[in-house]
Amino acid sequence: MKMSDITGKIKEAYRGPRRKFVWFVTLSTAVFLFVWIVGPGNTIIHWVKAGIETRQQERLIEQYEAQNAEMEVRLKMLRNDKDTLEKFAREQFNFAVPGEDVYIIED
């Protein structure tokens, strides 16, 4: 079937004896699609927004999982290595060995 045959049949449907019905169906479909795309409630726009938000949340989850893994490694090092624990205590809490001078420089 050629494209010109299809076009001819469409033109005939819109000009033929049942043209009112064809126009009614066409307009009803157009209104339905318009309301489905931009209307209130569960529309395509809401689906797209929800998809974007879902992807953003998944990226945040990945970041938090990476940070969690990093912290687990650091925690394991602090529990098992005395030198690492001492360095952490000196840097974070300004601990010092008795008799040692500590200078704090703030930016």
pLDDT of residue 97: 77
pLDDT at 37: 80
Per domain, the residue ranges of the chain are 1-39, 41-93
pLDDT profile of the chain (107 residues), mean per 10: 81 85 93 84 84 98 98 91 84 79 76
pLDDT at 92: 82
pLDDT at 106 (0 to 100) = 79
What is residue 91's predicted lDDT score, i.e. its pLDDT?
A: 80
pLDDT at 57: 98
Please tell me the predicted confidence (pLDDT) of residue 50. 93
Please tell me the distance from the alpha carbon of residue 74 to that of residue 78, in angstroms, as a whole number. Answer: 6
pLDDT for 25 equals: 93
**The pLDDT value given to residue 41:** 76
Report the C-alpha gap between 33 and 39 in whole angstroms. Answer: 9
3 Rama sector, left if φ>0, alpha if ψ -120 to 50, beta otherwise = alpha
